[in-house]
Amino acid sequence: MTGIWYHRNIDIPESWTGKRIILNFGAVYYESEVYIDGKFVCRHIGGSDSFSVDISRFVKPGNRHSLVVSARSDLRSQLQSAGKQCLRVNNFECTYTRTTGIWQTVWLEAVSPGGLERVRTVTDIDRSEVSFGIFPYRQHEGNILTVSVYDSGRLVAKDESPLSSGSIVTLRLRKMKLWEPDAPFLYDVIFEVTDSSGRTVDRVKSYFGMRKIHVQGNRIYLNNKPFYQRLVLDQGFWPDGIWTAPSDEAIRKDIELAMACGFNGARLHQKVFEERYHYWADRLGFVTWGEYPSWGMDLNNPEAQRGFLSEWTNVVVRDINHPSIITWAPLNESYWADEVSYPRFVEDLYSITKYIDPTRPVNTTSGGLHIVTDIWSVHSYVQDADEQWEKLYAGGRMFRKDPQERLMKRYRGNVGFNSPWLRDPYTFPAYDGTVPYMLDEFGGMKCRETNQGEGLWGYGKDPETREEYYDRLEAHIRMLVEHSDLIWGWCFTQLADVEQEQNGIYYSDRSEKFDTERLRSIFTIPLPQEPGGQHGNR
């Protein structure tokens, strides 16, 4: 077990008299305790979810106080989330340096006792409506909530009503503008709470994007149009900060680097990313999958399951309002051991996620055993494109039955599918073509011409030169695009090198490794035209 202690003095402004004083933590890995002037304040268990504590009774405005935070981690217990942190003494293959302690922003704020704690935003593009679920810290008789929505500074909708905990405010938007990757329009919204005398108690400015994501048949739709995902795997590791980004500019740059290569989104892999990442993804029009560092946990252990569900619930609630997040993917390459609790855990995980957020698809187990899921995803690092196609679909392995006549004609006789990716004695459920099928991890090869050091790692046989790398990559993308009627999107491994794993399209310091324009021309190879003129190549 490893532990770390932090200490600093905090000054509480005199102007905060009468306010609730909140201490906020972006994330502390893994089990943390907070003390003020030697007094125990709170304990939090979970390394990826944000938490806040009201310290009003421990501090006095105008005074200086001693703040101490302790954090400890027992990664090898397999009871806590690890993600890509290595459980071995030394880094190994695709697992890397461990993190302990405070790794996201910590800040103090003063809020009104009758102010807003949070707001849940739900957009309905079919009705041109936006709804806000209201959650104040405390309800006070006579308090009024005014919600004002702005389009580029112009007021377009407004509502005024008594502030009530759990109330829902719904506004209709005339000439609605959508949030889309090509045009990520965001409305501004101001929430203002006034008391019975008309005095402003709280004022919060935020934003939202009008967008809809849904699954229909074996397609994923964005704003009621087929949406083909060209994703990149982003693991969020940095040479100097490990899990902690060096700056807000660096977070934004990662998105811009991915977009420059032609990706329209990312799997935020085995890490809960900082909220600032989601902010920039919202602004720049970059779709993401919200994930969790599930690796390293013994998910057949009830204690590990309990910790997972608690932390994951907090993550979904924190990030639910970001329009750029279009899929929840809590598990990665998880399989079923003999314990009967695992299938129930996965079913509960899916149900809880859908109860909190019914507006997004859930890819319960990316590349693993699908107990229940909205997206059927597989991982395969076969390096030859023809062999990849053979492994995924040929030989009658894909469909037990095909509900789409067009596909039946093309793949007649393909029955009896048992996925080669389950690596598990339990072979159900079989894929039947009724949900989207995605290759959400592939590639992963490092190029010998770009190697930096010894003992490096990547998938498969290394291309000798950049040109050989481009050829292998292009063959794979052309294969996937050609079969987009079956494989509805993909995720390429990966954005940047991470320590010994040097298969990124950028070096670990985000400097250029390959010709960006050449990569963009490959990753954006257009889809074939579908019947009715739809190609879904957004």
pLDDT score, position 430:
67
**429 lies in some domain:** yes
Choosing from 111, 146, 163, the residue where a domain stops is 111
Give the CATH number, domain containing residue 366. Answer: 3.20.20.80
Give the CATH number, domain containing residue 39. Answer: 2.60.120.260
Compute the mean pLDDT over every residue in the chain, rounded to the nearest whole number: 90
Does residue 39 sit in the same domain as residue 135? no
**Which token pair is 318?**
């924190």
pLDDT band at residue 413 using 50, 70 and 90 as cut-offs:
very low
**222 lies in some domain:** no
Residue identified by tokens 């935070």 is 69
The proportion of the chain whose per-residue pLDDT surpasses 70, expressed as a percent, equals 91
**Which token pair is 375?**
């997206």
Q: What is the pLDDT of residues 176-189, one digit of tens each?
A: 999 999 999 999 99
Q: Is the Cα dihedral 27, 31, 36, 42 positive or negative?
A: positive
pLDDT score, position 343:
87
DSSP 78-124: SSS--TTB-SSSS-BTTBB----EE-S-EEEEEE-TTSEEEEEEEEE
Does residue 373 sit in the same domain as residue 514? yes
Asked whether the beta carbons of 455 and 92 are under 8 A apart, the reply is: no
Does residue 180 sit in the same domain as residue 56? no
**Within its chain, how far is the Cα of 498 from the centroid?**
19
Measure the N-to-C terminal CA separation of the chain; round to a whole number of Å: 47
- C-alpha gyration radius of the chain: 24
Query: Mapping DSSP to helix (H, G, I), strand (E, B) and coil, where does residue 123 land?
Result: strand
Nearest to 206 by CA among 186, 179, 194, 188: 188
H or E stretch at 341: helix 341-356
Number of structural domains the chain divides into: 3
Average pLDDT of the residues in 382-393: 88
pLDDT score, position 427:
45
Does residue 355 sit in the same domain as residue 249? yes
Provide the residue type at 5 as one letter.
W
DSSP 226-257: E---EEEEE---BTTTBTS-S-HHHHHHHHHH
User: Rounded to whole angstroms, how far apart are CA atoms 294 and 290?
Assistant: 12
**146 lies in some domain:** yes
pLDDT band at residue 151 using 50, 70 and 90 as cut-offs:
very high
Q: 327 - beta bridge partners?
A: 289
Q: What is the pLDDT of residues 444-492, one digit of tens each?
A: 999 999 998 888 999 999 999 999 999 999 999 999 999 999 899 999 9
Nearest to 374 by CA among 402, 344, 350: 350
47-56, 269-278, 319-328, 391-400: lowest mean pLDDT where?
391-400
Q: What is the pLDDT of residues 70-82, one digit of tens each?
A: 999 999 999 999 9
Average pLDDT of the residues in 84-100: 90
User: Rounded to whole angstroms, how far apart are CA atoms 336 and 14?
Assistant: 57
Q: What is the pLDDT of residues 279-292, one digit of tens each?
A: 999 999 999 999 99
Q: What is the pLDDT of residues 242-273, one digit of tens each?
A: 999 999 999 999 999 999 999 999 999 999 99
Nearest to 238 by CA among 49, 103, 81: 103
User: Rounded to whole angstroms, how far apart are CA atoms 493 and 332?
Assistant: 14
Question: Which residue segment(s) compose the domain that 164 sits in?
Answer: 116-208
User: Rounded to whole angstroms, how far apart are CA atoms 300 and 291?
Assistant: 20
pLDDT at 333 over 50: yes
**432 lies in some domain:** yes
Q: What is the pLDDT of residues 298-321, one digit of tens each?
A: 998 999 999 999 999 999 999 999
Q: Which residues contact 362 (CB under 8 A, 6 or more apart)?
A: 327, 328, 329, 330, 350, 353, 354, 373, 374, 375
Does residue 140 sit in the same domain as residue 67? no
Give the CATH number, domain containing residue 196. Answer: 2.60.40.10
Residue identified by tokens 């910590």 is 106
Average pLDDT of the residues in 47-67: 97
pLDDT band at residue 211 using 50, 70 and 90 as cut-offs:
very high
**438 lies in some domain:** yes
Rounded to two decimals, the pTM is: 0.92
Choosing from 96, 111, 126, the residue where a domain stops is 111
pLDDT score, position 394:
55
Neighbours of 106 (CB within 10 A): 15
Asked whether the beta carbons of 171 and 149 are under 8 A apart, the reply is: yes
Does residue 186 sit in the same domain as residue 296? no
pLDDT at 200 over 90: yes
Asked whether the beta carbons of 446 and 468 are under 8 A apart, the reply is: no
Asked whether the beta carbons of 32 and 69 are under 8 A apart, the reply is: yes
pLDDT at 95 over 60: yes
Does residue 13 sit in the same domain as residue 91? yes
Does residue 74 sit in the same domain as residue 150? no
Asked whether the beta carbons of 379 and 363 are under 8 A apart, the reply is: no
**55 lies in some domain:** yes
Nearest to 27 by CA among 120, 107, 134, 97: 107
Asked whether the beta carbons of 503 and 493 are under 8 A apart, the reply is: yes
Q: What is the pLDDT of residues 488-534, one digit of tens each?
A: 999 999 999 999 999 999 999 999 999 999 999 999 999 997 544 44
Asked whether the beta carbons of 481 and 526 are under 8 A apart, the reply is: yes
Choosing from 59, 88, 111, the residue where a domain stops is 111
**Which token pair is 467?**
């040109």
**224 lies in some domain:** no
Out of 219-233, 367-381, 446-460, the most confident range is: 219-233
User: Rounded to whole angstroms, how far apart are CA atoms 302 and 374?
Assistant: 25
Peptide bond into 136 cis (omega under 30): no
Does residue 106 sit in the same domain as residue 123? no
pLDDT at 409 over 50: no
Neighbours of 426 (CB within 10 A): 14
**219 lies in some domain:** no
Peptide bond into 229 cis (omega under 30): no
Does residue 236 sit in the same domain as residue 335? yes
Nearest 5°: the CA angle 280, 260, 374 is 65
Does residue 399 sit in the same domain as residue 429? yes
Asked whether the beta carbons of 271 and 29 are under 8 A apart, the reply is: no
Backbone angles phi, psi at 360, to 5 degrees: -125, 150
User: Rounded to whole angstroms, how far apart are CA atoms 361 and 213?
Assistant: 8
**Residue bearing the bigger pLDDT, 426 or 248:** 248
pLDDT at 337 over 90: no
- How many helices, marked H, and strands, marked E, lie in the chain? 8, 30
pLDDT at 322 over 80: yes
User: Rounded to whole angstroms, how far apart are CA atoms 224 and 123?
Assistant: 14
**Residue bearing the bigger pLDDT, 395 or 222:** 222
Provide the residue type at 484 as one letter.
S
Does residue 157 sit in the same domain as residue 282? no
H or E stretch at 278: helix 275-284
Question: Contacts by 123-128 with C-beta closer than 8 Å and gap 24+?
Answer: 123/208, 123/209, 123/210, 123/211, 123/212, 123/323, 124/212, 125/176, 125/178, 125/210, 125/211, 125/212, 125/223, 125/224, 126/212, 126/224, 127/172, 128/172, 128/173, 128/174, 128/176, 128/210
